[in-house]
Structure 1
Amino acid sequence: MIKYLLKLPIWVILSSVIAYICSCIFLFFYQPRLIFFPSANLEKTPLYFNISYQDVWLPVEVPNKKSQLIHAWWMKADKPSNKVLLYLHGNGLNIGANINRANFFRELGFSVLLIDYRGYGRSQGSFPRESQVYQDAVAAWNYLHNKQKIPSEQIFIYGHSLGGAIAVDLAAKKSDAAGLIVESSFTSIRDMVALKKMFSIFPVDLILTQRFESSKKLSNLKMPVLFIHGLNDSTVPAFMSRNLYTLAPEPKKLVMIPDAGHNDVAEVAPHEYEQAVLSLVEMSKFAAAN
Structure 2
Amino acid sequence: MTFILLAVVLLIGLIYISDYFYKKVIKRRLINEDTTFKEYVNKKLIDEEFYYSLTREDLYITSKDGLNLKGTFIEAQKTSNKYVVLVHGISIGPVGSLKYLDAFYSLDFNILIIHQRRHGKSEGRHSTYGYHEKQDLFLWVSYLRKIFGNDIIIGLHGESMGAATVLQYTELDQNISFIIADCGFSDLSELLKFQINYSYPNILRPLLNILINLINIRAIKRAKFNFRDTSPIKAVENSEIPTLFIHGKNDSLVPWFMSEKMYQVKTKGIKELYFVEEAAHAEAIKKDKKTYDKKITDFINKVLSTREC
TM tier relative to shorter chain: 0.7 to 0.9
Q: Distance in 2 between matches of 1:103 and 1:31?
A: 36
1:242 match? 260
| 1:266 paired to 2:248 | no
Amino acid at match of 2:182: E
Moved more, 157-166 or 46-55: 46-55
Conservation of the 8 A alpha-carbon contact between 2:76 and 2:105 = yes
CA distance change for structure 1 residues 204 and 109 in 2, over 3 Å: closer, same or farther? Answer: farther
Q: Distance in 1 between matches of 2:3 and 2:263?
A: 53
SS at match of 2:134: helix
Deviation at 1:68, TM superposition (A): 2.7
Q: Distance in 1 between matches of 2:292 and 2:252?
A: 20
Q: Deviations over 1:25-61 (max 9, x none)?
A: 747xx72652453649652599763232101111222
Deviation at 1:128, TM superposition (A): 3.4
Which of these residues, 1, 15, 18, is aligned with residue 22 of structure 1? 15
SS at match of 1:126: coil
User: What is the TM-score with the length of structure 2 in the denominator?
Assistant: 0.78
State how many pairs are aligned. 276
| 1:140 paired to 2:120 | no
Which of these residues, 295, 303, 309, is aligned with residue 276 of structure 1? 295
1:34 match? 25
1:114 match? 113
Deviation at 1:204, TM superposition (A): 5.0
User: What is the TM-score with the length of structure 1 in the denominator?
Assistant: 0.82
2:42 match? none
**Structure ID, larger Rg:** 1
Task: Map 1:73-84 onto structure 2 (within 5 A).
Answer: 73-84=72-83
Higher helix fraction (1 or 2): 2
Q: Deviations over 1:238-280 (max 9, x none)?
A: 2211111101123111111223222322232233322321232
Moved more, 235-244 or 180-189: 235-244
Deviation at 1:289, TM superposition (A): 4.1
Conservation of the 8 A alpha-carbon contact between 2:183 and 2:281 = yes
Conservation of the 8 A alpha-carbon contact between 1:76 and 1:112 = yes
Conservation of the 8 A alpha-carbon contact between 1:36 and 1:91 = no
Conservation of the 8 A alpha-carbon contact between 2:72 and 2:113 = yes
SS at match of 1:173: coil
Q: Distance in 2 between matches of 1:22 and 1:231?
A: 33
Which of these residues, 213, 238, 247, is aligned with residue 206 of structure 1? 213
SS at match of 1:236: coil
CA distance change for structure 1 residues 41 and 146 in 2, over 3 Å: closer, same or farther? Answer: farther
What value does the CA root-mean-square deviation take over the aligned residues?
Answer: 2.9
Q: Distance in 1 between matches of 2:3 and 2:272?
A: 59
Q: Distance in 1 between matches of 2:150 and 2:56?
A: 18
Amino acid at match of 2:175: D
Moved more, 52-61 or 95-104: 95-104
Amino acid at match of 2:83: V
Amino acid at match of 2:28: F
1:225 match? 243
SS at match of 1:274: helix
Q: Distance in 2 between matches of 1:237 and 1:69?
A: 33
CA distance change for structure 1 residues 279 and 173 in 2, over 3 Å: closer, same or farther? Answer: farther
Conservation of the 8 A alpha-carbon contact between 2:103 and 2:296 = no
SS at match of 1:164: helix
Conservation of the 8 A alpha-carbon contact between 1:59 and 1:70 = yes
Q: Distance in 2 between matches of 1:174 and 1:73?
A: 22
SS at match of 1:93: coil
Moved more, 193-202 or 112-121: 193-202
Conservation of the 8 A alpha-carbon contact between 2:63 and 2:69 = yes
1:68 match? 67
Amino acid at match of 2:126: F
Deviation at 1:150, TM superposition (A): 5.4
Conservation of the 8 A alpha-carbon contact between 1:118 and 1:125 = yes
2:172 match? 173
